[in-house]
C-alpha cells in the first residue's frame, strides 16, 4: 500500500541480499514505508529505519513495530508528531538512527529519499529545510562509502523543495555538510515519543 506501483528500494534490497550482502534502508520520506517494512520484517540481513509523521497516511510505523523472529530489533520506527521541528528531527536521527545503523554494519545503505518532510511541503507537517537532507546523507558516509549508497527519489509535493533537497542530498553523498552544527537533544514536542523509542531500541542496540 502506498503511492508507488513498484517498490524500487525493496526490489534492490532483495537483489543485494540474494548476492550475500547486508542492507540497511534509511527512510526519511514523511510517510511510513509499510510495504518495505513488511517485506523485510523477518529478514535479519535487512535493517529498516524510518522517521515519519505519525499518525499520518498509511497509519503504520508505531515504535513497537520492531521486526519478527530472528530479525527482532532490525526494524526501527521513529514516529514524529505533526509540527516536529527540524532540530528535534535531526537530533532524533543522530540519537535513534545512527547508532543502530553503525552496529548493524551494512554492506549497503539504500535511502528512501522523499522530500515531503520539508517545511514547505503542502502534505506533510514536519519542518526540515533542504540542506538538512544533505546533513543526513553526509552523516551516512560514516557507515559506508558513497559508492555503497543509493538514494531513491520518493515523495515531495513542493517542486522547489524537492529540487533543492535532492541537490543537497547529492552534495551530502559527496561529503558536503560534514561541518554541520547538529542539535544535541530532542527538546520539543517530539521528546516523549523519542524517549519511548529510545527505551525500546535500547533493548537491542547501544544508544
Instruction: Compute the distance between CA of residue 180 and CA of residue 159 in angstroms, rounded to an integer.
Output: 25
133-145 pLDDT per residue, tens? 999 999 999 999 9
94-144 pLDDT per residue, tens? 999 999 999 999 999 999 999 999 999 999 999 999 999 999 999 999 999
Can you give the pLDDT at residue 194? Answer: 98
Which CATH number is 12-201's, of 1.10.10.10, 1.10.3760.10, 3.40.800.20, 3.40.50.300? 3.40.800.20
Q: Is the pLDDT of residue 1 over 80?
A: no
The pTM of this model reads 0.97
Give percent of the chain above pLDDT 70: 98
Phi, psi of 150 (to 5 degrees): -130, 125
Mean pLDDT of 160-167: 98
Q: Where are the alpha helices (DSSP H) in 63-205?
A: 86-92, 98-104, 130-140, 159-173, 191-201
For residue 111, cis peptide bond before it (omega within 30 degrees of 0): no
Domain layout of the chain by residue ranges:
12-201
Amino acid at each position: 500500500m502506498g503511492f508507488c506501483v513498484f517498490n524500487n528500494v525493496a526490489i534492490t534490497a532483495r537483489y543485494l541480499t540474494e548476492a550475500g550482502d547486508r542492507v540497511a534502508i534509511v527512510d526519511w520520506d514523511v510517510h511510513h514505508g509499510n510495504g518495505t517494512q513488511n517485506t523485510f520484517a523477518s529478514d535479519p540481513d535487512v535493517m529498516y529505519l524510518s522517521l515519519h509523521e505519525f499518525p499520518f497516511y498509511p497509519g503504520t510505523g508505531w515504535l513497537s513495530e520492531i521486526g519478527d523472529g530472528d530479525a527482532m530489533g532490525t526494524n526501527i520506527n521513529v514516529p514524529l508528531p505533526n509540527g516536529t521541528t527540524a532540530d528535534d528531527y535531526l537530533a532524533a536521527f543522530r540519537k535513534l538512527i545512527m547508532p543502530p545503523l553503525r552496529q548493524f554494519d551494512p554492506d549497503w545503505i539504500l535511502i528512501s529519499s522523499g522530500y515531503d518532510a520539508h517545511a514547505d511541503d503542502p502534505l506533510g507537517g514536519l519542518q526540515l529545510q533542504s540542506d538538512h537532507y544533505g546533513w543526513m546523507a553526509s552523516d551516512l558516509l560514516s557507515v559506508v562509502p558513497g559508492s555503497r549508497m543509493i538514494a531513491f527519489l520518493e515523495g515531495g509535493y513542493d517542486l522547489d523543495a524537492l529540487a533543492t533537497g535532492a541537490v543537497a542530498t547529492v552534495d551530502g553523498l559527496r561529503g558536503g555538510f560534514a561541518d554541520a552544527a547538529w542539535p544535541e537533544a530532542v527538546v520539543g514536542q517530539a521528546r516523549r515519543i523519542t524517549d519511548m523509542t529510545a527505551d525500546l531500541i535500547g533493548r537491542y542496540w547501544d544508544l
